[in-house]
Structure 1
């Protein structure tokens, strides 16, 4: 979540909440602000098409600036944003009036001038060059590097999986964003009707990698209204290893969805640069509320996992969940989304590693299962 979209106190509250709950904090494409460093949480630095925080004066990508930024913050992974669910294939414009000295310094842009985010990256132009870009960043920073994207046509994903099959190059993680994602910076036709809904988009991407036996070598992250336990459980069953939560975390710190983000008059101080309005948001209190929400979500998922008979949400499979059609018909997730045997389940080696973390004192002769 970027500073500029949200207020400084809101970013601090989210960061504090993530730290207290043992979660990570995604910066959003606006770069790392001082507010991302006040709570102590580990960061996933997102790089968008404008390369905020790691750009040259002309807007092109700078690996030197990226390395400088990573060296001064607790960045644990780098996420290259190809698109987001609410506005796939669109760029954006930060109007001059919003480019304050503080935002300009954080993003590496000029004060008081319009700043456009292109609809596409300039550092690469196809799957092959994207993988070169990913490998270069990984080699220079020593960090895991992944991509975030909404899902539309599948040729991109088929080519990506095919090129990764040799094991010579590849992304470390894939964040799939569903069309349910939200932002105030999108035309309604895009936020309402463009990009696949999460469950369809994710299952198609996961299946593309599963066909080539690559799912245990890539971390899958789900994103799009997954902050509710039911939706999160489905995401894990379909093969997600981690989930992002956005609007639910924002609501935990006071967002009432007043839809005033665009005119800078958010009444709760969450999405505004007004010092007067954001001054009403106490990052200490709201950070505790965010942490409470995250812990509760985790506890609910743990309870569901126990009810299913597994030790962790990542061990729930698409055959453990049924989708109801009224009160007269049901189908498993595997049946609805065309999953083959063992799709959505972790391999035995990964299951063993997971159980070693969840139950470090289990006896040696206990054999992990994926059912």
Structure 2
């Protein structure tokens, strides 16, 4: 869910189109989504992630008012998480995170100059403010995860990032490679796939040497490898692809490709599958595949299933990456597929081979 379009930072690689504009989700939208979430929670647990612009920009009191309609869930729990740059965290926010409760993930790319792309609108660095926010979380006993966006994949970058995450005391590290998406035209391409593979190999080696925290990308990859080795990969490939829907600040529902929010296609028009203020979210979800742009995205997943030997691992790629890289939603392999999936697998396999031959 997008509680606001506004972000107090102006990161150079950000893909969001309206992050300088303050548009805030109404409680009416939250109530409409909560009704659907509670219905889903009769069948399975539901996680609500508050994300982009900067969710904390709405203030702790208003954020509570957005969370309140969800309640604890029905048969299964409804839980909350927030993706934040941490610069606005204070004692009041720590109280919200502790009492609701809310799982916290902090965006930070590394120490000092390695976080240099995360600046505010006056081009001032944000690192000190982020570290102050993290320190408040630690003092309040609130566990947190970290997501880092990297453009520098040179030797030493992976081990440096992993050491930094361990020193922060986070529970989990996610690693995104800067990519062409949204209003961001994309980082400079790595010199070669060898550089990307070496980065992932180094990260795998760093984790194996000191497996203090979990790494999201390695968790996904090693889970796939285990299923491949056990003969379960065919069953994995046949599972339905679970959508990750987004509800925008004004109630628009995107059942797939959350990063497409706020954008329009010359062919399909705005990327939306309806609005929760007009139609119950559960109905929008049930009808989503009849929406032309969603149908094209699902065709892209089907194409990946038919053509790509990595489908059991990546599960059809990311709709937004396909669109922003190729202009279509039914495309197959993208740069994101190669750098963050295929090269990642190659990196951990090379690490395994190297460790075995030492």
- TM-score w.r.t. structure 1 length? 0.45
- TM-score w.r.t. structure 2 length? 0.47
Structure having the larger proportion of residues in helix:
2
